Structures are given as C-alpha cells and as structure tokens.
Amino acid sequence: MNAAPTPGQLLLARLQELSSLGSALPCLCLRAVHAHHIKAVEVVRPTLIIPLQGTKRCRERGAWMQVQPGHMLLVPGARNLDMENIPDAQGGDYTAIAIGIETPTLEAARQLLQGQASSEPGHLASVALDDVAMALLHWADTVQQGETVFACHAMVGVVLRLHALGHGGLLAPVTPSLADQIRAMVVAEPARDWSSSDIEQALGLSGATLRRQLAASGTSLRELITGARLAQALTLLQSTRLPVKSVAMRVGYASTASFSKRFAERYGVEPSRVGSV
C-alpha cells in the first residue's frame, strides 16, 4: 500500500503545474540546462526560492548553502549573493520558483503581529517544505485561479508562518536608499535611454545633489543604470526562453557582443549559459 504524499510533495506537484502555465504569474519560473555560477546577484527584497528540479547553491560571506527539492531557500532581505544553479542529473534541467515578497505584504504582516516583528535583518535559511506547505498551497491555489487579491492575502499567511518558525528577520523594516529608487526606475524601463535629467526630475533633485549623494554611497548614476539593466537581463534569461540577442535589445543594448561582454564582466558567466535556450 502506497503512503499518502506529504504536504511538501503536494506543494511540489502544484508548483510544477504553475511553472508550466503560460499566463503571467506573481513569481518567476527559473530554468537552466547548463550548470552555472553567477557572482554577486543583487536580491532586492525578501525572496523565497523553491527548487523543483536540480540543486540551488547560494553563498553569503564565504559559506555555501545547498537546497534541493523538498526544501526552500529563504532570502530574508536585500543582499548580494553568489549563486549556482545545477540541473538534475537525470532530468537534465534546473527548474525553480522564485517568489519576491512585496512591501505591502510585509507591512500587512507587521500590522497583524502588532510590534512582534524583528527589527534586525535575518540570515539565509533552508526551510523544509513540509513546514510551510499548507500556507504555500493556499497561495498556489489562489494564483492558479487568477485571484490576485486573495493571492496577496495568502502570501501574508506564508510570511506569518515563516515568522512562527523563527524566520522573523524578513519583516525587518527597510527604507529604500536613493540607489534603490534609481534601480527600480531603470528596471521598470530598462530599454529607455536614461539621462541624468530624467532621474533628477523624477526624484526632485538637482544634478549636483544627485551626484554628491551617489558618490557618498560609493557609486555613480552610470554604474546604477548599467547594473539595473544587467540585473533585468539576468531575470529575463532565467525566466524566459528569449535568445540572448532579444534579451540584449530589451535591456537597451543594440550590440549583442557588447551586452555579452558586460554581462560576463558583471556576473562571471556568459549569458548563453544562464537560461534554458
């Protein structure tokens, strides 16, 4: 007699169904056919990464963490991470679901906790799917049914469940920096020919003030624009089947060769090895 599937196994099956849908989803379906290492990936918000096939490896401050199907990688807040995506030895693919937790969701959870939320950022964690499966199954159900509002409410439940498991650091409040605001603007329109005057007008800052504040944080407008474009390219390469040439054009590069060179310099891997094409 076969044993009944565990909640975690039911969740994996449901997420496999979601990953096969062609419709827009409030998450990313990441795929790869080549093992690859990506250096210093910028994670901009609390994120849940759930491998469905293959292995996810992640490094912060020199220590590697490995996550396989049956577990979930919790990235509790913005940070830079080295990542490896390793396809399954039998199936030949790497597939994962990445769920970025939006600010309104976090704020709703904080209000429900009435001051119990942590004020300190948390650490990377590997979480057993069985421990969070019921909350995530509810979220997956609402997503599959196209119920956007209920999906947002369900994700609040996921955050509260993680808090109950001791992962309250993802609720630490964060005020977006000037650099964060600029990155968000560029990611929203990566192909736009951004100028300093565009940024100044949007933020209500003079050119001198913008340059001074960015210099104080150790960066420049050019570096931020380039970094945001390449970050969006990384997302497209991992979550779509677009060829490198199309990705380059979508993030503002007329030359595929120039784009590939910049991408490899930034992430330490050729763009052609990152996705599923």
Q: Does the model's pTM come out above 0.95? A: no
Give the whole-angstrom CA distance, residue 110 versus residue 116. 8
- Mean of all residue pLDDT scores within the chain: 92
At 22, is the pLDDT very low, low, confident or very high (cuts 50, 70, 90)? Answer: low
Beta strands in the chain (DSSP E): 28-32, 36-43, 47-53, 55-60, 63-67, 71-75, 79-86, 94-100, 125-128
**Domains identified in the chain and CATH numbers:** 7-171 (2.60.120), 178-273 (1.10.10.60)
> 227-243: string of b/e by CB count within 10 Å (b at 16+)?
bbbbbbbbbbbbbbebe
At 4, is the pLDDT very low, low, confident or very high (cuts 50, 70, 90)? Answer: confident
C-beta of residue 205 within 8 angstroms of C-beta of residue 151: no
Tell me the per-residue pLDDT of 56-79, one tens digit each, with 9 for 90 and over.
999 988 889 999 999 999 999 999
In sequence order, the 6+-apart residues with CB closer than 8 A to the CB of 255 are: 248
